Amino acid sequence: MKFLHERLPNGLDVIAEVTDSALSTSVGFFVRTGARDETDAEWGVSHFLEHMVFKGTTDLSADEINRRFDWMGASANAFTSEEDTAYHAAVLPEQQDEVTSLLARMMRPALREEDFATEKLVILEEIRMYDDQPPFGADDRCRAAFFGAHPLARSVLGTVASIESLPVEAMRDYHRRRYAPGNMVLAATGAVDFAALVESARRHCGDWEPLPTPPRRAAAPVRPAAGEQCIVRPGSVLEYAVRLSAGPPGDDDDRFAAKLAAAILGDGSGSRLYWALVDTGEAEQATLHHQDFLDAGMFATQLSCDPEDARALLERILEVYRRTSEEGIGTAELEQHRNKLAGRWVLLGERPRRRLFDVGPEWAHSGTYRSVADDLRTIEGLSLDDVRRVLDRWPLHGPGTTVLAGPLGADPSP
């Protein structure tokens, strides 16, 4: 496995993690832009634009793009998060040039008014779809409350109102500013011909105008708000709760230790919360995970259970956190979860299409590359002291924001 990097004169980074034994090639464009880079008037534009990129260029229709991906046998998709927008496809190695060229051309979309109007309807359906599903918006609402004035408070999809009022010109302007070559990374993993990848990049992206790289909005440090809110869903069977508290940000050396601490306390199986609440059938789900951003991090607790038990179980979860912080954890427990995480990493690392989602964003965020072996060394080196430090620095039972969604708080009379 080797890592290669080249920068085009206009600032576009081309990177690859090459695995000669791989059977497939994954290629993706990672744009350093997401919900946190939007203004109030642009709320939801990053994700809407991600959809519009598939609607074609001045000389390539949406149907043509869809047909080409399917004709290549590509497994193609895209995602938008708070900090990234990515377009990716996994193909057999012989399709590398074809898929790179298609993705590259798509990065300069036509953004036609009539396509914009039709796709707006699809985005509104996507918003309604998530709104109908557990946790019924509790996750977005909780993040908004937790981050307060920080740009990470903004939800990726936007709202029905923000999408309805978005004009196409705002999207065109956002695209011009944010999709500058210096703000993008072309990444590939698996069986990659790197010379050909760079050649494709030169041919299809070499003439992109080298605009100055747009800065990310400077943000004040997160001051997590403590508090509780309810979203009332009288028809829901279970109650869904999300609790956020502060954790190490992406540039903090403790981010791996934070993931291990989260696994020990709240992995989907074999964790403290699992034995306390899930194994006993008191909760459908009780998990903890750590998520990091450029300048912020958070621990997210998720609970689903019978509505009448929700508050008591939230208290029990905090009690598990408090006790763990006071009494610490044992060596066997550390080892079990460290080995579990390491095993997970090896399995994920074998799949180039999965690796792309580590390699691409890592470079986009920090300009660094970490191999699976690097990550494994870090995970295997984690000690009881590392977990202890994380729990001391970022107390899980400390201030947090909680949002409940479900029948709680509904008017009892029918």
Partner 1 sequence: MKQSLFSARLSNGIVVLGEDLPGLESVAVAFHTPAGAIHDGPGRCGLANLSGEMMLRGAADRSSREIVEALEGAGIQWAQSVSTSHASFAGAMVARQLPVALPIYADILRRPRLPEEELDNARQMVLQNLAGTEDDPGHRVMQALRQLHFPHPWGMPSEGLSADVEGIGIGAVREFVAAHVRPAGTIIAAAGRIDWDDFVRRIERLFGDWDSGATGTVVPGPRGERVRHVPHDSQQTHIALAWSVPPYREDASYEASAALSVLGGGSSSRLFSEVRERRGLCYSVSAGYQTLRDAAAAVCYSGTSAARAQETLDVMLAEIRRLPGTIQEAEIERVRARAKSALVMQQESSAARAGWIAKQWYHLGTVRSLAEELARYDRLTVASVEAWLAANRPAGLTVVSLGKEPLEVPIEVPA
271 vs 291, beta carbon nearer partner 1 = 271
Let me know the angle formed at the C-alpha of 206 by 205 and 210, rounded to the nearest 5 degrees: 95
Rounded least distance, CB 180 to partner 1, Å: 28
DSSP letters of 310-340?
Answer: HHHHHHHHHHHHHHHHHH---HHHHHHHHHH
Kindly tell me the burial class for residue 6, based on how many C-beta atoms sit within 10 Å of its own C-beta (0-12, 13-18, 19 or more).
Answer: middle
- Tell me the closest approach of the beta carbon of residue 351 to partner 1, in angstroms: 5
Cα distance between residue 145 and residue 139, in whole Å: 10
Amino acid at 374: D
Q: Which residues bind partner 1 (CB under 8 A)?
A: 21-24, 54, 62-63, 66-67, 69-76, 90-92, 118-122, 124-126, 128-129, 131-134, 234-238, 269-270, 275, 278-285, 304-306, 332, 335-337, 339-340, 342-344, 346-347, 350-353
Taking the least distance from each CB to partner 1, the nearer of 151 and 406 is 406
Residue 165 vs 339, nearer CB to partner 1 = 339
Residue 173 or 279: the one with the smaller Cβ distance to partner 1 is 279
**Distance of closest approach, residue 285 Cβ to partner 1, in angstroms:** 8
Nearer Cβ to partner 1, position 280 or 413? 280
Buried b / exposed e over 324-362, threshold 16 CB at 10 Å, is bbeeebeeebbebbbebbbeebeeebeebbebbbbbbbb
Q: Which is nearer to partner 1, 45 or 276 (CB)?
A: 276
∠ at Cα 289 (288, 292), nearest 5°? Answer: 150
Is the separation of the CB atoms in 377 and 339 below 8 Å? no
319 CB neighbour count, 10 Å cutoff: 12
Q: Which is nearer to partner 1, 190 or 360 (CB)?
A: 190
By the 8 A CB rule, do 171 and 45 touch? yes
Nearest-approach distance from CB 333 to partner 1, in angstroms? 9
H helices, E strands: number in the chain: 15, 13
Nearest distance, CB of residue 92 and partner 1, angstroms: 5
**How is residue 95 annotated by DSSP?**
G
State the Cα–Cα distance between residues 37 and 82, nearest whole angstrom.
8
Q: Does residue 396 contact residue 290 with C-beta atoms inside 8 Å?
A: no
- Minimum CB separation of residue 349 from partner 1 in Å reads 8
CA dist., res. 412 & res. 414, Å (int)? 6
Tell me how far, at minimum, the Cβ of 237 lies from partner 1, in Å. Answer: 4
By C-beta, is 224 or 352 nearer to partner 1?
A: 352
Whole-number minimum distance, CB 385 to partner 1, in Å?
A: 21
Q: What is the closest distance, in whole angstroms, from the C-beta atom of residue 149 to partner 1 in the complex?
A: 30
Looking at the Cβ atoms of 193 and 252, the one nearer to partner 1 is 193
Which bin fits 56, alpha (ψ -120 to 50), beta or left (φ > 0)? left
Please, which residue, 133 or 165, has the CB nearer to partner 1?
Answer: 133
Q: Contact 47/175 with Cβ under 8 angstroms? A: no
Strands (E), 146-233: 184-190, 227-232
Cα–Cα distance measured from residue 118 to residue 370, given in angstroms and rounded to the nearest whole number:
41
Q: What is the C-alpha separation between 63 and 110, in angstroms, rounded?
A: 14
Residue 240: φ, ψ to 5°: -120, 125
- Min dist CB 325 to partner 1, Å, is 22
